[in-house]
Structure 1
Amino acid sequence: MHTSSNTAATRAILAGLCASLVGIGLARFAYTPLIPALIEAHWFAAGDVVFLGAANLVGYLAGALAGRPLAARMGARRTLQAMMLLASLAFFTCALPLSVAWFFAWRFLSGLAGGIIMVLAALTILPQVPPERRGVASGAIFLGLGLGIAASGTVVPLLLNEGLAATWAGLGVLSLLLTLASWRWWPQAPATAPAAPARAAVPARTGFALNLIYGQYALKAVGLVPMMVFLVDYMARGLHMNTHTAALFWVIYGAGATAGPMLYGMLGDRLGIGNAMRVALGVQVAAAAALVAAHGIAVLVAATFVIGTFPPGIVPLTLGRIRHTLPDDVPAQSAAWSRATTVFALFQALAGYAYSWLFNATGGQHRVLMLIGAVALALALLSDLALARVAWAPVKDDGVARV
């Protein structure tokens, strides 16, 4: 019986990994290395390509809002299966550049699928996992984000040798195979429970803690954007490296992204979620400062790897923080995680446009953007220190989960 339970939990975790890889890792991050090819192949004008890139972020925001209502109607399992199919279909349709409107619609739908997957997947799976393994399990579920970033710097350039349409189709085939492989692995339990009887209002300290978590997640979004968007250009034009060497830094970033979710998840299990979060933020501030100030190749490589761990690594830590703030209340956890995902999506999109404007306004000063990102991460660290001072209710589902 115990072995059967472990097998079911493992399959559920693998389903979550596949979903995050298909709906976010590939659907979002594989687009970045395709941008030059889309312009060179004259599929779309340069301005349209940037506009189409934003479609996925807008869809992701919509998905973060729509995930829980959709799961309440269809059930979490069927919703997640459908979203993986939708993301896979979007790859195939993007192989046909019929018009800007057509491409925008399917990029939007791929983002919608990713947002819904982000909101539902982990909270559908984690109740099936023993408490002492939930940090590692969260890391494994969101490993798909890191694998997608890594694939964007390795697999996608190889596929482009076969042509742009073949690349989109190849990504579609890969996504469809992952969808079918994980189809029966999803647990039956819904992510959102039926409406419960009216309860007492959330204690003021819990509401304060949740607001700090949302604000901190927004600051993380602002902090990670400049490194994620401008890293290769910073190496190539800001530090005057050749194009090939600069591109290798994206591969290093991808390697860090692959390591991040599991590393941060294990830190959460060993140190407690709060301690792990503060360690992660402190290291990120130091790495971002090193990226701005250093010129030595070894320091830049190390800083890039560390920074790469952050975008996918903070997801299991933030989810863990929410679970420990609202212990034994799955509907409240689901609602809070949906809000956090929405906040992150909104501020990431706003930051992307703000940084692009600032980059042009400063005449291409990469270091200004990197410095702003480092300050945002430092503010997130300060807010976490404030969060640590909040009096917490006892955590019943994870004895090592200290804030």
Structure 2
Amino acid sequence: MSEIGQDRRGAWRAALACMVTLAVAMGLGRFAFTPMLPIMLHEGKLELEAGGLLASLNYLGYFVGAVSCAAIGVRAKTMVRGGLLATAVLLIGMGLLHSFGAWGVLRAAAGVMSAWVFVFASSWGLRRLAETRSPALGGVIYTGPGVGIAMTGLLGGALGRWGSETGWIGLGLLALVLIAVIWRVFNDGEQAVAGGAAPAPVAAPSAQDSAAARADALWLVALYGLAGFGYIITATFLPVIARQALPGSFWPDYFWPLFGAAIIPGALIGARAPVHWDNRLLLAIAYALQAVGVVLSVAWPSVVGFALGSLLLGMPFTAITLFAVRDARRLRGNAAAGLIGYATASYGVGQIIGPLFAAPLAQRTGSFQIPLLVAAAALALGAVLFAAVWARSRRAAATRERAATP
């Protein structure tokens, strides 16, 4: 086989392995709770407010895991393999243990593992794609969360018909099978820490633009948190919301896997967006799409409304992260890691607040209508403000260009 053929095969091997890795860590480890929550509510093991607390503990774990990655000096393959095995054990533990305190610890730990695996697998995979001259396959990696969410939606409900214990244990065993399939792939290449291979050079902003860049960085951090808050209420409670609106229907079990399936084309399309397109405008469009998706579940609580809402919420899900990272690199060049970390922390705070705000209010009022409208308003505000920042920068650039013209 020629060197080019070997590189291409190695690139696809790495991309697909990382896709499966993110499917396990994010789709199963992090988001399996969404389809399992209505089953646990029906069994009387949880009340809605307690379910919201468990969800927020998972997102708190993700936040802690994300901000701790920079301090970890362990080989990426070791972190990925260890995090995947821990994820499977934590899923099985949800079925074997029966106290709320134990569930809280397990969900928080699962959040930490999902963050570690996401960061280190992304780093390992992008490095392998750079080494094999196939960076365009990066979009394949980030379809993984969508694949995993779709799997949890389809399998979680089916397994849950035999009880939530069976559902959790079944998902844990599925994770072990998937881990076994990709285990050896992470022997390809070597990588010491999460930093990965150096990406293509990106120039930092000039001194003339530094004040505007600092302002843009502050906007990015603040508005990225609105995305975390805006999507997470639907992403945590979608099956519960749909069952309230469509009692007795079999459709609510399918809106969550539809959300996951929509992430897949969104990730592939977002990865191919030309780099010269303004990320702030792309973020404004993505936020607006998600805002409409959230509103549809309130304004049109039907099968069609929930289906369209799931699609509009899911498609921009991974693209928002990609555009935010690209904008951080525009502002900070190759020194963007700190800004990405701050933005990720802001997003994590939004995710933690969402269920804590929504679940008690929904339990008191018997409806998610108010929390969903607040979430949609947060996304709409983010869209308007990103568009305003983009428009302001265009006006400033036009002013400088006129001033420079003799």
TM-score range, shorter chain: 0.7 to 0.9
Residue 216 of structure 1 is matched in structure 2 by 223
**Cα deviation 1:109-150 (Å, max 9, x = unaligned):** 21110122233332343244359965x544322222212221
Residue 64 of structure 2 is matched in structure 1 by 62
1:84 is displaced (CA, Å) by: 1.4
Does the CA contact (< 8 Å) of 2:292 and 2:312 recur in 1? Answer: no
- Pick from 273, 284, 287: which aligns with 1:278? 284
1:376 is displaced (CA, Å) by: 1.3
Aligned: 1:250 with 2:253: no
After TM superposition, the structure 1 = structure 2 runs for residues 2-401 of structure 1, keeping only pairs within 5 Å, are: 2-39=4-41, 49-70=51-72, 73-97=73-97, 99-129=99-129, 134=135, 137-186=137-186, 187-189=189-191, 190-192=193-195, 203-238=210-245, 242-267=248-273, 273-294=279-300, 298-327=304-333, 329=334, 332-360=335-363, 363-388=365-390, 389-390=392-393
Does the CA contact (< 8 Å) of 1:38 and 1:164 recur in 2? Answer: yes
TM-score (norm 2): 0.79
Does the CA contact (< 8 Å) of 1:278 and 1:381 recur in 2? Answer: yes
Question: For 1:350 and 1:375, how far apart are their aligned partners in 2?
Answer: 15
Equivalenced residue count is 379
Does 93-102 or 77-86 show the bigger shift? Answer: 93-102
TM-score (norm 1): 0.80
Question: For 1:246 and 1:162, how far apart are their aligned partners in 2?
Answer: 18
Unaligned 5+ segments in structure 2 are 198-203, 395-406
1:82 is displaced (CA, Å) by: 1.7
Question: For 1:49 and 1:283, how far apart are their aligned partners in 2?
Answer: 27
Does the CA contact (< 8 Å) of 2:153 and 2:257 recur in 1? Answer: yes
Quick one: which amino acid aligns to residue 157 of structure 2? P
Quick one: which amino acid aligns to residue 337 of structure 1? I
Question: For 1:44 and 1:373, how far apart are their aligned partners in 2?
Answer: 24
Question: For 2:141 and 2:150, how far apart are their aligned partners in 1?
Answer: 16
Does the CA contact (< 8 Å) of 1:37 and 1:164 recur in 2? Answer: yes
Cα gap change, 1:218 to 1:33, in 2 (>3 Å): same
Residue 400 of structure 1 is matched in structure 2 by none
Quick one: which amino acid aligns to residue 208 of structure 1? A
Cα gap change, 1:293 to 1:109, in 2 (>3 Å): closer
1:350 is displaced (CA, Å) by: 0.8
Cα gap change, 1:47 to 1:209, in 2 (>3 Å): closer
